[in-house]
Structure formats: C-alpha cells, structure tokens
C-alpha cells in the first residue's frame, strides 16, 4: 500500500473531521453565534477527537469508537435541526432520528455483548435519519423563500455537505459489516486491503463534505457585507427606514 493510499484509508478521516470542526468553529466565533452552531461545534469536537484516536492506533478493534461516532453524529444533527426549525412539528420530527439511534445504541452497545465487527445497522440508521432531516430542511427552505442569496446561507452549505457524505457513504455503511464478516471467514492480507480501500472511499466522501464546509466559510466571509455597508445598501435600494422620534 502506497503512502497516499495509507493516508486516505487511515488518516483522512481524522483530517476531514478536523477541517469540518475548525470551519464550523470559525463560523460560530466570527459570523453566527446561534445555539445550533455552538451545539454542532461541541459534538464535532468530540467526534474529531475520536476520529483522530482511531487514525492513530492500529491492530485493535475500533468498532466501539465507531459506534460512539454514529451516536454523536445522529444526536448532534438532531439537536442542530431542532434549534434550526421554528415550527413545533418540524422540531418534534427532528428529535426522532436522534432518539431512535440512541435507543439502538443502548440496545446494541450497552445491553448486548460487545461486538468486535463494525456496526453497519447503527450507521445506516444514523445516515437515514440525517438524510431525512436534510430533506425536511430543504422542504422548509423552499417553503420559506427569502431575498437573501442561497449561497450566503451557511445552513444550506452544511446540509449539502451532509447530503453528499451520508447519501454517498450509505452503500459503504450498509455493506461493511457483511464484507468484514466474509473476509474474517477467509482472512488474507489482500482481501483486507480491499476492505481498507473501501473505507478510503468513505474517507474521501467525508473529506469532500468538509471541503464544502470550508468553501462555504470562505465564500460567506468574503461576500459578507460589513455592518456599516448594510445600512448604506438599504439606503441605496430605497428601503424605507423608521425615523427616530
């Protein structure tokens, strides 16, 4: 396995999460300090630490750590959309995927015997839930059209990045447990290398999604109008201003 392949299969996951975390942290500090971004930053920090830990160590089962990742991802995105949506129905729906994943996690990790093999079902539940929430958000976005450009909406970029990752990696999540079990029956380094490459594809998708978030951050911060300019622009557009008494 070449250095680049090794990097993609083992280290790219940690790098991608670091990139996403830093981008969202900068956005939260510099541009928008709403609750949903603070929560997402907190959850992403935890996921990044776990991903880096997975990248660093070798030769031991990391299925438990991956289970923590899907749990944190699902709960984190559920809470993100809970604080993003304004109407009570969407708020209630946004909590459902997180709760289902939490119940599955308790059943699988806490109540069942420890499983050394990657938990595909947990990941599939998590991804499906997040994708459903994303579609709910897109429906919400289309129903509430604003004059603001869509490219200036960070939530939209975030949702796109998650759609790319979760929808793209869905097939990998779905089949990974099956392939691992099959390979374990007839274990050879060559077959293991195929499985590692498959995880490399997942890592590339994750990296792509983090690049989308980074581009969004750069784009929005470059095109954002300074506070003084907003007033001038409104005056130029002829927006009626309330006269002070």
Question: For residues 6 and 53, which CB has a smaller minimum distance to another protein in the complex?
Answer: 53
Tokens of 39: 């929560």
The CA distance from 188 to 172, in Å, is: 20
The CA distance from 40 to 25, in Å, is: 9
Min CB(218)–another protein separation in Å: 31
Closest CA to 97 of 87, 82, 86, 85: 82
The CA distance from 79 to 82, in Å, is: 5
Q: Which stretch binds another protein (CB under 8 A): 29-37, 49-57, 147-155, 209-217?
A: 49-57
Question: For residues 111 and 142, which CB has a smaller minimum distance to another protein in the complex?
Answer: 111
Among 3, 86, 113, 189, binds another protein (CB under 8 A): 113
Q: Is 116 in the site for another protein (CB under 8 A)?
A: no
Q: Is 46 in the site for another protein (CB under 8 A)?
A: yes
Min CB(112)–another protein separation in Å: 9
Closest CA to 124 of 73, 159, 88, 160: 73
Q: Is 58 in the site for another protein (CB under 8 A)?
A: no
> 122 and 75 in contact (C-beta within 8 Å)?
no
> 120 and 174 in contact (C-beta within 8 Å)?
yes
The CA distance from 141 to 159, in Å, is: 11
Q: Which stretch binds another protein (CB under 8 A): 7-15, 28-36, 45-53, 233-241?
A: 45-53
Q: Is 68 in the site for another protein (CB under 8 A)?
A: yes
Q: Which stretch binds another protein (CB under 8 A): 13-21, 84-92, 104-112, 204-212?
A: 104-112
Q: Is 100 in the site for another protein (CB under 8 A)?
A: no
Residues 6+ apart with CB under 8 A from 166: 127, 130, 131, 134
Distances, alpha carbon 155 to alpha carbons 87, 95, 233, in Å: 17, 18, 24
Q: Is 234 in the site for another protein (CB under 8 A)?
A: no
Closest CA to 27 of 206, 166, 203, 215: 215
Q: Is 64 in the site for another protein (CB under 8 A)?
A: yes
At residue 130, the 3 state secondary structure works out as: helix
Q: Which stretch binds another protein (CB under 8 A): 83-91, 106-114, 116-124, 226-234?
A: 106-114
Q: Is 18 in the site for another protein (CB under 8 A)?
A: no
Q: Total residues at the site for another protein (CB under 8 A)?
A: 13
Q: Is 106 in the site for another protein (CB under 8 A)?
A: yes
Question: For residues 56 and 171, which CB has a smaller minimum distance to another protein in the complex?
Answer: 56
Per DSSP, the chain holds a count of helices (H) and strands (E) of: 10, 0
Question: For residues 41 and 128, which CB has a smaller minimum distance to another protein in the complex?
Answer: 41
Which chain residues interact with another protein by CB under 8 A?
46, 49-50, 53, 60, 64-65, 68, 106, 110-111, 113-114
């Amino acid at each position: 396995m070449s250095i680049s392949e090794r990097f993609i299969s083992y280290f790219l996951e940690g790098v991608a999460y670091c990139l996403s975390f830093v981008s969202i942290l900068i956005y939260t500090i510099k541009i928008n300090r709403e609750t949903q971004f603070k929560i997402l930053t907190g959850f992403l920090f935890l996921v990044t630490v776990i991903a880096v830990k997975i990248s660093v160590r070798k030769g031991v089962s990391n299925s438990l750590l991956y289970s923590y990742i899907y749990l944190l991802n699902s709960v984190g995105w559920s809470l993100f959309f809970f604080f993003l949506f304004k109407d009570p129905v969407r708020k209630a729906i946004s909590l459902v995927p997180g709760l289902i994943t939490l119940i599955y996690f308790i059943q699988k990790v806490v109540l069942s015997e420890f499983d050394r093999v990657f938990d595909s079902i947990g990941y599939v539940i998590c991804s499906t839930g997040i994708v459903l929430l994303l579609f709910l958000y897109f429906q919400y976005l289309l129903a509430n059209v604003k004059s603001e450009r869509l490219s200036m909406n960070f939530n939209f970029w975030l949702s796109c990045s998650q759609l790319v990752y979760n929808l793209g990696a869905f097939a990998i999540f779905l089949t990974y447990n099956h392939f691992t079990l099959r390979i374990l029956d007839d274990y050879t380094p060559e077959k293991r290398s195929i499985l590692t490459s498959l995880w490399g594809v997942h890592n590339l998708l994750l990296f792509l999604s983090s690049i989308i978030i980074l581009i969004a951050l750069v784009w929005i911060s470059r095109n954002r109008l300074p506070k003084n300019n907003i007033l001038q622009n409104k005056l130029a557009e002829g927006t009626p201003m309330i006269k002070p008494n």
